[in-house]
Each structure stands twice: as C-alpha cells, then as structure tokens.
Amino acid sequence: MGQMLDDVRGFSRGMYSNWFWHRPLQLLIDAGEGLQLALGPNVFSPSVLAISHGHSDHVLGLPGLIGARRFGKGANEKPLTILYPEHSRGVQAARDLLGTSYADVVFPLTWIAATPGTSMPLGKGRTLEAFSVRHVPDEPALGYRVVETKRRLKPEFASMSQAEVEAAARDGRREALLEEVQHVRFAHSGDAMPIDPSLVAGADLLVHDATFLEESDRKYPIHATTEEALEVGRLAQVKTLVLYHLSIRYDRATALPALRAQVRASGFSGECWLLDEGELVALQAP
Ligand SMILES: [Zn+2]
C-alpha cells in the first residue's frame, strides 16, 4: 500500500455508515456510526469534522464521537470544529440530540454552516474549502478539498545551484526568486454525482462516490457510477483515487473483477483503491 494510504483510514458501507479520516490533516469527513470505536485511542486526534450531508449513514456517529471525546480518557478539552451544509435537516437532528443528551459538553465545539465557497484555515498554509456537488434535492450536500500553498523557486531559477540561491537570499533577492503554488492535497466528493474535475486537478488524493457499477442500476441522479468516478480521476490527473460507497447490492466476488476491468479500461493512470467497509482494496495489479 502506498505511503499516503498509511495516513488515512475510513469506513464505507452505503446506507449504513461512512466516514474518512486523514491523519496528517487531522481532518474527518463525515461521521457514520462506529466512528469513535474504529478511531480507538485516536479519537481525540481530529480537529475538524467536515460533514458532506445530513443522511443517517454520514451523521449518526456524531453523538458517539462527541460522547467519546466528552467522557473518554484523553484530551477532553481539545476543540473540535464541525463544518456542515447550511440548512441540513439531518445535521440539525444530530445536533439537537447532542444538545439534549450532552448539554454539558465542555470542550469548545464550533459549528460552521457552510455553503459552496466557505473556507477555513487548517494551518501550515492549508485551507479547507467546501464546494458544490449534486446529490438529493431536499438535503444540501457539499464536497470538500484541502488546498495547500507552498513557496518554491520560480522555474527560471530552477537551475541555480544551492550556493547561488543562498547568495541571492543574502542579497535580499529571496522574494524575487520565489513563487507561490497551490495544490490540492486531499478532496472528498461526499455522496454525489461526478464532481467537476477542475476542482480537484492534480490532487494527491481524491475520495469519490462510486455507488453503481452499472449506470442502468441508477434510478435517480444522486450517486456516481464507478466509471464516472474513474473519469473524474483521469481528467483531473489525481495521484491516488479512492472509490467509496459501492452499493452492497453487488456481490464482491463478482464486483471486484468487474471493477478492476473498469479501472484497466478507464485510462486512469494513478493509484486506485476501493474503500469497502474498513478495508482499502487494491484495484490494480501490484
Ligand atoms: Zn451515503
């Protein structure tokens, strides 16, 4: 498994429970049931939880997470910020439960109602941004991406030796040598139809809805197919693509070979995995 995937954990069973944890970013996407049990001693690690939409398989782990951080042994005063789609009824229902059950939550819990374009700093030059996605009409849904800004030598100076760069910096010309570049470190579609590839161009890691193996199985335009998710990955040239939310209607013994054939035929050249329950399943030959 690639180094990057050592840094992430998740669980996905569509309609049951979905969450994804990016350890270096201390960022959780969604809070399906069982989240706090799976995180174990790391339950205090996440600083930000970004909720894609209010369906039960994405929010019912919230009371458990808050309870574990409220009553468990650990950093009980560590703040947690929760971004969620503005006007989400499902999130409001979970929040009402917290209000009545855990009224004396002591750690700072900050709720941010997000709309497409809402952003918040994550530190270290990173920004979490919400973007628009297409899911069901009556429950607002968002995707999220983490954009990292780095400074690097301008290309025209790339051939300078280390000594020349240091000399230029001593002469006060350091700023003139550098440029800022942004790249997408991580993105998550939430439950959605295929997202706009330009939002995730060159992403290190994209987690994308891939509910249906066949388009003919899709009754309503609310979830992507595996092939659509692969096409987003190909167009955006993402480095690692994790498909998630594959419907449990598909028997894995036959679905996995079919999905691997789709990956081979897709022209997607990055790494590709399926998050299935708590496992990252390789979809390419090693
Ligand atoms: Zn879902």
* pLDDT at residue number 162: 86
Distance 153 CA to ligand 1 centre (A): 43
Distance 243 CA to ligand 1 centre (A): 13
Helix or strand (DSSP H, E) at 208: strand 205-209
List, for residues 98-117, the tens digit of each pLDDT value.
888 877 777 889 999 999 99
Distance 171 CA to ligand 1 centre (A): 56
Taking residues 90-97, what's their average pLDDT?
A: 92
Taking residues 170-187, what's their average pLDDT?
A: 90
> Which residues make up the environment of ion ligand 1, defined by Cβ < 5 Å?
57, 191
Distance 88 CA to ligand 1 centre (A): 14
Name which of 71, 61, 83 is nearest 107 in CA terms.
Answer: 71
- In the CATH hierarchy, which fold is given to the domain comprising 3-149+179-282? Metallo-beta-lactamase; Chain A (3.60.15)
Phi, psi values for residue 173, rounded to 5°: -100, 15
Distance 72 CA to ligand 1 centre (A): 28
* pLDDT at residue number 2: 54
187: tokens are: 């993105």
Domain ranges of the chain: 3-149+179-282
d(CA 183, CA 198): 12
Distance 18 CA to ligand 1 centre (A): 7
Residue 282 has pLDDT above 80, yes or no: yes
For 16-25, 58-67, 91-100, 194-203, which range has the lowest pLDDT when averaged over its residues?
91-100
Distance 217 CA to ligand 1 centre (A): 16
Taking residues 162-177, what's their average pLDDT?
A: 86
Phi, psi values for residue 103, rounded to 5°: -60, -25
* pLDDT at residue number 171: 87
- Packing angle, helices 89-101 and 62-71, rounded to 10: 30
Taking residues 169-191, what's their average pLDDT?
A: 91
d(CA 210, CA 258): 13
* pLDDT at residue number 175: 83
* pLDDT at residue number 4: 65
DSSP 21-74: EETTTTEEE---TTHHHHHGGGGG--SEEE-----HHHHTTHHHHHHHHHHSSS
117-122's contacts with Cβ under 8 Å and 24+ in sequence apart are 118/83, 120/48, 120/81, 120/83, 122/25, 122/26, 122/27, 122/47, 122/48, 122/146
* pLDDT at residue number 1: 45
d(CA 107, CA 134): 34
Question: Are 219 and 186 contacting, i.e. CB atoms less than 8 angstroms apart?
Answer: no
208 torsion bin: left (phi>0), alpha (psi -120 to 50), beta (else): beta
Residue 197 has pLDDT above 60, yes or no: yes
Residue 136's pLDDT band (cuts 50, 70, 90): confident
For the chain, the residue count is 286
Distance 182 CA to ligand 1 centre (A): 30
- How much is the mean pLDDT over the chain? 93
Distance 135 CA to ligand 1 centre (A): 10
Distance 246 CA to ligand 1 centre (A): 10
List, for residues 78-92, the tens digit of each pLDDT value.
999 999 999 999 999
List, for residues 30-55, the tens digit of each pLDDT value.
999 999 999 998 999 999 999 999 99
Question: Are 25 and 146 contacting, i.e. CB atoms less than 8 angstroms apart?
Answer: yes
List, for residues 239-266, the tens digit of each pLDDT value.
999 999 999 999 999 999 999 999 999 9
